[in-house]
Amino acid sequence: MSQKVLVIGAARSGLAGAEFLAKTGNQVVLTDMKQCNDIAELEKLGVSFIWGEQPNVAQIQPDYIVISPGVPLTIPPVQYAKQHNIPVIGELELAFANCKAPFVAITGTNGKTTTTTLTGELLKRTGKNIFVGGNIGVPLVSYAADLSEEDVVVAEVSSFQLETIDTFAPHLALMINLTPDHLDRHGNMENYLACKANIFANQTEQDYLILNYDDEALRPLATQSKGKVCFFSQQHILEEGVCLDGNQVMLKLNGASISVCKTEEIAIKGKHNLENAMGAILLAYLSGVSVEEIRDVLMTFQGVAHRLEPVRMHNGVQYVNDSKGTNPDSTIKAIEAYGNPIVLILGGLNKGSDFALLASLVKKKVKQVVVLGEAKDVIINALDEAGFGAYTKVETFEEAVLTAAGLAESGDVVLLSPACASWDMFKSYEERGDLFKQIVNGL
């Protein structure tokens, strides 16, 4: 039955949602505070548009609203909808409600993209068609309706997406970690955790929830889950789940204890990537991938673009693109991955983060810092309070990269890991990382 749907936000997921809804016979109104030019196909489908102003929901009278992840739920149209019992969902919920394939869903503050991509590679070993998307890649709604029960969706899901679910219930759900992020939107850690926990809110006894036992914020969630809970841990010997025995990654399920591989055999390096791999091992094994196949993928998987991505060795200096390091905890993990002296590029749009812990680590492990962006003064204050004075403030991104290159000596690492979002200067962290690579390759 045709319905009237208001789609708020004309970015990637909003455009995909509007196209899907129009193609399935709905009357669609797409709105955004900025006009979008890429709408020729939507115009052909009969979508109408409202640009540059908040839509009048009372006048439009939609059956429901689909809101893009980047749009806060505090805007007047959404508040009106809630007061008048008009459903508000996101593109994730829209895709799930129109998809026959089971979902494997991954969330966490850091490591989502690496873990999701790795899980996709692991699940390909089942021989099924695996579709990877969500908060990365192609919006899920673009292909969800075309999938069958024999296919599998591996979805990276953010707190913003989980904020607007209704029936979303992945068969396998993984929560990697939780550290402060997006507090400018969620207000506090309790609200942030509550949004993340929606990943398992609708699971049943037939489903699985995988949690990081080492994360004290996540461990207690096991008591709230209706599904079967599995843990992974780097710090504790577990009776069930995935853990370490010396340098052996051990899989313990259903009474069996199997060595998956040695930690040094995992191609992606760093403690944070071992955390990511452990979660992915459980997702893969519960999906029917053999231990031998899991080991093979772990030994060959090289990671993802913009996450500790080696760019170039130039004059003895290693240049690393970690543009996806968009919060302090992510940048802390990046710094800890290297033993060489580091020239660090920091700054961008602050998401309500506290930079004190990062600044204290910078004092111990970083040689020089180049600071830029909307958050530069907040970051400099944190560095000053930590007693670190070896920083240079710049205005443009190109100046930041060239300054870092000038400060680096043979044996150093120039690390772009901004600890901030990119939106003050760029459309995305990908655009920021691509420019970094372009400048570095032009040195």
Do 319 and 261 reside in the same domain of the chain? no
In this predicted structure, what is the pLDDT of residue 397? 98
- Both 279 and 136 in one domain: the answer is yes
**Shared domain check, 358 and 226:** no
Residues 118 and 239 in one domain: yes
- Of 86, 102, 124, which residue sits at a domain end? 86
Contacts of 249 (CB under 8 A, 6+ apart): 242, 243, 259, 260, 261, 262, 263, 266, 274, 277, 278, 281
Verify that 81 and 174 share a domain, yes or no. Answer: no
Same domain, 319 and 275: no
Pairing of strands 413-416, 342-346: parallel
Are 386 and 240 members of one domain?
no
- Report pLDDT for 302: 87
pTM value? 0.82
Task: Return all residues near 12 (Cβ < 8 A) that are at least 6 apart.
Answer: 139
CATH number of the domain encompassing residue 226:
3.40.1190.10
Domain of residue 418: give its range. 309-441
Is residue 227 within 8 Å of 209, Cβ to Cβ?
yes
Q: Return the pLDDT at 433.
A: 97
Are 167 and 235 members of one domain?
Answer: yes
In the block, tokens 């004309």 appear at 10
The reported pLDDT for the residue numbered 262 is 96
Q: Say if residue 48 is in the same domain as residue 118.
A: no
- Tell which of 65, 86, 107 closes a domain: 86
Residues 60 and 99 in one domain: no
Q: What is the pLDDT of residues 131-142, one digit of tens each?
A: 999 878 789 999
Between CA 66 and CA 94 the distance in angstroms is 8
CATH number for the domain harbouring residue 14: 3.40.50.720
Which residue is listed with tokens 């025995």?
A: 245
Parallel/antiparallel/unpaired status of strands 366-371 and 172-175: unpaired
CATH number of the structural domain spanning residue 354: 3.90.190.20
Helical H segments across 46-188, by residue range: 57-60, 76-83, 91-97, 112-123, 159-162, 183-186
How far is the C-alpha of 440 from the C-alpha of 443, rounded, in Å?
5
Q: Which residues of the chain fall short of a pLDDT of 70?
A: none
Q: Are residues 250 and 333 in the same domain?
A: no
Strands of 248-253's sheet in order across: 130-134, 152-156, 103-107, 172-175, 208-212, 228-232, 241-245, 248-253, 256-262
Same domain, 186 and 48: no
Cα separation, 248 vs 279, whole angstroms? 15
Q: For the chain, what is the domain count?
A: 3
What is the total residue count of the chain? Answer: 443
Question: Among 44, 65, 86, which residue terminates a domain?
Answer: 86
